Structure 1
Amino acid sequence: MTSFRRLAPFVLGLSLGAAVGPTVYRAAQAQRLMLFGMRQPLWRYPADLRLMAEDVEFPSQDGVTLRGWFIHRVNDDGTPAPAVVFVHGWPWNRCGNRAGATVLPDRTVDFLEPASALSNAGFHVLLFDLRNHGLSDASPPVTFGVNEARDVIGAVTMLRTRKDVDGARIGLIGYSMGANAALRAAPDCASIRSIVAVQPTSANVFAPNAARDVLGPAGPTLIRMGGLIHRAFGAPPFAAIAPAAWTPRLQDTDVLYIQGAGDRWGSLADVEAMAANTPRARPVIVAPSSERYGGYLYVVEHQAEIIAFFRETLGGESG
């Protein structure tokens, strides 16, 4: 019995370490992603789909160097045509997301398939890496749409310098953090015609929900601690990352919101609040899903619907 009593604390310590260790590791990795983003390698290229593309480099509104691909519309004759900009989520890149790249439970989300469909439908397409992601320059911390909106403004500004782009007919399609950035940036981009916002989310909703799902019961407490570190690096408080407070400014922009029904990180109520504050919101599309990534896949699974929305709001191929 004496031996057991002596060993009990040691055995309990090992048990707690085994249980807590993976949680602490995942929390540390999530904190790193919050601060510095992720450099997922480019895992697919326009040439894989026989798309005509050029490498582009341009500054964000505040001078961060951004890099991406400008994909020409099929049968491009050089005359001005509408353009659609993809704005990726956290911690993705211009390709979308490659499953298994981080500690987050995820699925592959491919941007090049819908980009190809849009190109064939007569739209130029811009795919680019946000700051702290892909091949674009670093400017930490990640702010889940606040500073990233400056990257969207830079992308639109660059497009409007091109003679082959009709600067009055530009649309955005953003995912999660990218949707937040698109919603925040559009009013400052002088007449963005339309946005497809795929699962935008308020940080006060997303952070504790994702933390609980990824880290377990201790997740919300750990993310509150992580939020303090995030702010110490210059990020806004989670309460300030709230798209529903930004959307009333979208006076001239048609917005199509998409939200997964089974999303455990975001919420339909949050997206419906954004839509209620959006002057020209379409009815929210509720995508069948059992987790967050099912909602992200709606675009690639309903390409004709997305093309029809942009055709309606951006017009056809003629100037």
Structure 2
Amino acid sequence: MKRLLTLTRLMLLSRREPVSRTPAEVGLDYEPVAFPASDGVGIKGWFVPAAGEGPKPTIVFVHGWMWNRLGNVAGRAPIDDRDVDFLPATKALHDAGYSVLLYDVRRHGESQKGKGLVSFGPLEKNDFVGAVNYLRTRADVDGERIGSIGISMGGTIALYGAPECQPIKAILAVQPAKVTTFNNNFALDQFGIFGPLIVAPIELIYRATKTPPPSVQDPGEPAKRLDGTVVKYVQGTGDRWGTMVDVLGFAEGTPTLDGPVVHYPSSGRYDGYRYVSAETEDIVDFFQRRL
């Protein structure tokens, strides 16, 4: 029962992973930044500037549930997770001539929590819009050449936010998911056949707190409005919480794709996140072609 209550609380409220490292660890200069989300919530992060003078194309990193701007540290949550490190891809992008913004989604890291529960996109999109608006105030950023890497919940957030702050030239969405699918499969994986029944009341909790409930969250809907944005989807083949079917559905409605959905070999959801740190050459290639 204690574990059930803990996981339910995390699904509703998430947690704050301390920001314990910096880009200096991989030899990068960085600037601590703070800016408001489009609904006023205070967001904190880092700006890693590209070398050279003049405005540069810039990539916005958006992290997943229970993580922070650095990614994930394994063993801090009561699930079978793995380390997810954004710094290798950040360095690869920087060395290829891109500036990078890494920020903490509301209720995560050092950012404010705002109102409502974790909505996995409909509310957090305001953080993404605020990040893009902030970048466009900087003289060293080319505001017409902004792209994003969104991982898990971060991929969903980028899909929700990008239509509201165009132009966003390119999005790499790694394992985005529908909340209803994720919650059902997560509960089934963690608690067996009765798991989905246990988490069913969560819908009522969302409605009672006036937070967009899981039943209305579908990243495939905002993806349909991404005219002018090229999207590359990546989904792990062994993901037990998200599904390839959902991601293929998102892709089907997305106006412009960078080829078919990448079926990334994996033995579990966290294994699929290896793409972010293991495939840095592919990540750089995508933005060089599309941004």
TM-score, structure 1 normalization: 0.88
2:206 counterpart of 1:237: no
Q: Which residue number corresponds to residue 221 of structure 1?
A: 197
Alignment of 1:131-150 (within 5 A): 131-139=106-114, 140-150=116-126
Maintained 8 Å contact 1:113/1:300: yes
2:250 counterpart of 1:274: yes
Q: Which residue number corresponds to residue 27 of structure 1?
A: 4
Q: Which residue number corresponds to residue 109 of structure 1?
A: 84
2:26 counterpart of 1:42: no
Maintained 8 Å contact 1:288/1:295: yes
Q: Which residue number corresponds to residue 82 of structure 1?
A: 57
**SS in structure 1 opposite 2:102?**
strand
What is the alpha-carbon distance in structure 1 between the residues aligned to residue 205 and residue 82 of structure 2?
Answer: 28
Q: Which residue number corresponds to residue 72 of structure 2?
A: 97
Maintained 8 Å contact 2:175/2:242: yes
Alignment of 1:174-253 (within 5 A): 174-253=150-229
What root-mean-square deviation, in Å, do the aligned CA atoms of Structure 1 and Structure 2 show? 1.1
Q: Which residue number corresponds to residue 33 of structure 2?
A: 56
Q: Report Cα offsets for 1:278-309 as digits up to 9, x if no partner.
A: 01022100100010011111121111111011
Post-superposition offset of 1:78: 3.1
Maintained 8 Å contact 1:35/1:233: no
Post-superposition offset of 1:219: 1.3
Q: Unaligned regions of 5+ residues in structure 2, if any?
A: none
**SS in structure 2 opposite 1:77?**
coil
Counterpart AA for 1:128: Y
Worse-superposed segment, 39-48 or 109-118? 39-48
What is the alpha-carbon distance in structure 2 between the residues aligned to residue 34 and residue 59 of structure 1?
Answer: 24
Counterpart AA for 1:202: K
Superposed structure 1 runs of 4+ greater than 6 Å apart = none
Maintained 8 Å contact 1:105/1:214: no
Maintained 8 Å contact 1:34/1:230: no
**SS in structure 2 opposite 1:256?**
strand
2:146 counterpart of 1:165: no
**SS in structure 2 opposite 1:69?**
strand
Counterpart AA for 1:207: N
Counterpart AA for 1:113: P
2:261 counterpart of 1:284: yes
Q: Unaligned regions of 5+ residues in structure 1, if any?
A: 1-23, 315-319
Post-superposition offset of 1:227: 2.9
Name the % identity: 47
Paired residues, number: 289
What is the alpha-carbon distance in structure 2 between the residues aligned to residue 178 and residue 68 of structure 1?
Answer: 15
**SS in structure 1 opposite 2:5?**
helix
Which structure has the highest helix share of the two? Answer: 1
Counterpart AA for 1:80: P
Q: Which residue number corresponds to residue 104 of structure 2?
A: 129
Maintained 8 Å contact 2:119/2:213: no
**SS in structure 1 opposite 2:290?**
helix
Post-superposition offset of 1:257: 0.1
Maintained 8 Å contact 2:203/2:215: no
Q: Which residue number corresponds to residue 261 of structure 1?
A: 237
State the structure with more CA Rg. Answer: 1
